[in-house]
Amino acid sequence: MQIIFHEKTKTFHLYNHEISYIMTVLPGGQLGQLYFGKAVRDREDFSHLAEYSFRNMASYLSEDQDTVSLEHLKQEYPVYGTTDYREPAVEVIQTNGSRLSDLSYAGFLIIQGKPQLPGLPAVYVEKEDEAATLIITLKDSVTGLSVQLFYTIFEERPVITRSVCFTNQGCEALHLGRAMSLSMDFPDCDYEWLQFSGVWARERHLKTRNLEPGIVSVGSMRGSSSHEHNPFIILKRPHTDESQGEAVGFSLIYSGNFLAQAEVDNQNVTRILLGIHPDTFDWKLEPGADFQTPEAVMAYTCRGLNELSQSFHSLYQKRLARGYWRDRPRPILLNNWEATYFDFNEDLLVEIADRAKKCGVELFVLDDGWFGARRNDRAGLGDWTANKELLPDGISGLSKRIEALGMKFGLWFEPEMVNADSDLYRAHPDWILQMPGRRASLGRHQHVLDFSRKEVVDCIYNMMAALLREAKISYIKWDMNRYITECYCAALPADQQGEVFHRYILGVYDLYERLTSEFPHVLFESCASGGARFDPGMLYYAPQAWTSDDTDAIERLKIQYGTSYCYPVSSMGSHVSAVPNHQLHRNTPLYTRANTAYFGTFGYELDLNKLTEDEREEVKKQIAFMKEYRGLIQFGTFYRLCSPFEGNITAWMVVSPDKKTAIIGWYKTLNQVNAPFSRIRLQGLDPELCYHLEGCSQTFYGDELMNAGLITSDSMCGEYKNRRPGCDFDSRLFIFKA
Ligand code: DGJ
């Protein structure tokens, strides 16, 4: 891995054995983008990659530079209005009303390793030699704004991380109206754009479209990354599929409002922008002050989407998630939400936990409803002390009873919210986000606490930390069940109201940081009405996230498949729930519910006392299976094989690092009469190894399974011990061992 600066040509080349990233200083002083893609050998002069031409209608910088139009140059951190008409990376508003900037190259620094971002989640290194960082400084001589562009390249990953730090070195306050984390100009537009979109209970469905001249974008202005869009997009070549072809993935390590955008210009150049959503952002930068953007990650592959996803999985699993649980197989849990909703008392909880323990469950999680006056969702949020009518000895008493069963105990919080009917709100009605003189809109009968204010975060921290100190709590589910409206902070002056959304997220990160460092053995699972904050920012603090409130096994195939494009299996909270399913009212076989939930952190969302004896025996086997294989499933190499977005069959697989064990999950949505023969081609096996398929007398070489494929039609399944007559919502697991 190298970062090279060629002094004579003012060219930077970041490369490792997989990728190259090349930039140069352009004639006008701006930083130009020359190349990002598969590794190319270094040379002193790459300046021919910056193409210049006089074009009619192009504005240019000066009479002696009439071929230098920023509209037609590929740049690293462009501004609008000084010959470039595309959407810019940055916009700075000055006291004289001007929004113009001119950012010229001023110098650079190369350091080993990777600096952390103050107050923000970011990818990290464990050893300095894992990565190197280039910091390029640009300056605007008129405003005194200094812009530091951070680029980190890793020795062993086809990944570049980027972020930007602004410093006002002038003597007047500036406003950042836009401060993207990443801007990237690609020389053509022969790409498909992949986004991961949906809504509550239908998150991260894959949507694909061709790039055309104009703008395509996804984003959130809801205060969280949202159910609707994910801060992750992919550009892929039209012929690229899961196992071959070029693609670039862009991911933002941030949990608040974001914008991900591609603009194809009049010469088919594609500009990608990724960062905080500019429409809800305006940051006042006083003289001497800094502003740090969130971090963006770009990964490249020339070998298909599975490899691109694996780069993100490995990076986010090993160098974004942190702490005790990062590398540990996750406990099999039972959560009481769909089992009881608000209708429980201590004895019922212990009865449910006791049965769960007898089936092999390791962690009992008490969800919503245990605190304050919370007997339904209209009261109690904000009062984080146990309701003594339900739990006479408090959380401490209940947690002792659960631990006495031989299980760990976990607890639900929704720290950022308050009900009007709560002691917290009665004491501090001014602590919610609201615009004085206007209505404070509601969501799920609740208001959003103003987490941009330190005293609010401190108060919630004190309540949560007190409980964590006093009771035996091993796991926290951190929920967030509404979006932000009337985003106004009573404690900030008028010219800083554009900061509130971002300050709110910084407050959330601050609370997470305090709790995770003080209670390092507690496993945190993030949640936001299911998957409204399934983003890399959260993964830095909570290594797993509740993937969706939709627990139907068939719906989950699309949700988990879509989520897998960026996020590792170990991050996806996935549970077996009761039938008829509570969201969809669908009946699916118990084995299919488990076969889907295995590809995640695994647990149950039901009262096992309500199952039949036979079903409980099946559950015991499921739990025994997951205990044996969770290390492989959660931390092995994951491949998508057959897409639920394209047909009736879904399939995916995980392979162990030594390629000696593989598990394939195969799912059929609807049964078919007289169905065609079917097979799936496996991936990631060792072609030279001979694999035994569990429950089958035959063996198969890896090359046959990857090229001829695994027969999944019933003709072959006659061989398998676990054969069943076909039905709707059918599924199978295939376990191969070398
Ligand atoms: C939304 C979560 O996604 C559910 O799992 C559950 O915790 C409820 N909130 C509780 O209110």
Residue stretches of the chain with pLDDT short of 70: 1, 714-724
* Ligand 1 center–CA 397 separation, angstroms: 23
* Ligand 1 center–CA 240 separation, angstroms: 38
Rounded CA separation 168/290 (Å): 7
Pocket test for ligand 1, best of 340, 481, 583, 605 (most atoms within 8 A of CB): 481
Rounded CA separation 129/112 (Å): 6
Pocket test for ligand 1, best of 336, 371, 479 (most atoms within 8 A of CB): 479
Catalytic residue (choose from 84, 479, 550, 607): 479
Ligand 1: nearest atom to the Cα of 412 = 7
Q: Is residue 678 classed as helix, strand or coil in its secondary structure?
A: coil
C-alpha 324 chain-centroid distance: 20
Rounded CA separation 47/26 (Å): 9
Catalytic residue (choose from 549, 550, 552, 607): 549
Q: Is 412 in the pocket of ligand 1 (CB under 6 A)?
A: yes
The amino acid that residue 540 corresponds to is Y
Inter-helix orientation angle 613-635/590-597, to 10°:
20
Pocket test for ligand 1, best of 343, 378, 546, 575 (most atoms within 8 A of CB): 546
The pLDDT of residue 421: 98
| Token representation of residue 653 | 């697989």
List Cα–Cα distances, 198 to 204, 312, 532, 537, in angstroms: 6, 21, 10, 20
The pLDDT of residue 720: 54
Closest alpha carbon to 165 in 269, 270, 283, 250: 283
Alpha helices in 370-499 (DSSP H): 394-404, 423-427, 454-470
* Ligand 1 center–CA 412 separation, angstroms: 9
* Ligand 1 center–CA 312 separation, angstroms: 27
Inter-helix orientation angle 500-518/454-470, to 10°:
20
* Ligand 1 center–CA 463 separation, angstroms: 20
| Token representation of residue 278 | 């500019």
Kindly give, in sequence order, each residue whose CB lies less than 8 Å from that of residue 43, ignoring residues fewer than 6 positions away: none
Q: Is 479 a catalytic residue?
A: yes
Q: Is 549 a catalytic residue?
A: yes
Q: Is 367 in the pocket of ligand 1 (CB under 6 A)?
A: yes
Q: Is 481 in the pocket of ligand 1 (CB under 6 A)?
A: yes
Query: Are the C-beta atoms of 156 and 3 separated by less than 8 Å?
Result: no
The pLDDT of residue 726: 83
Q: Is 530 in the pocket of ligand 1 (CB under 6 A)?
A: yes
Ligand 1: nearest atom to the Cα of 444 = 11
Measured by CA distance, the residue closest to atom 11 of ligand 1 is 368
Q: Is 605 in the pocket of ligand 1 (CB under 6 A)?
A: no
Measured by CA distance, the residue closest to atom 9 of ligand 1 is 529
Model pTM score: 0.98
* Ligand 1 center–CA 676 separation, angstroms: 42
The pLDDT of residue 73: 95
Q: Is 527 in the pocket of ligand 1 (CB under 6 A)?
A: yes
* Ligand 1 center–CA 529 separation, angstroms: 6
The pLDDT of residue 478: 98
Rounded CA separation 592/361 (Å): 19
Phi and psi dihedrals of 447, rounded to 5?
-110, 160
Ligand 1: nearest atom to the Cα of 605 = 5
Q: Is 546 in the pocket of ligand 1 (CB under 6 A)?
A: yes
* Ligand 1 center–CA 597 separation, angstroms: 18
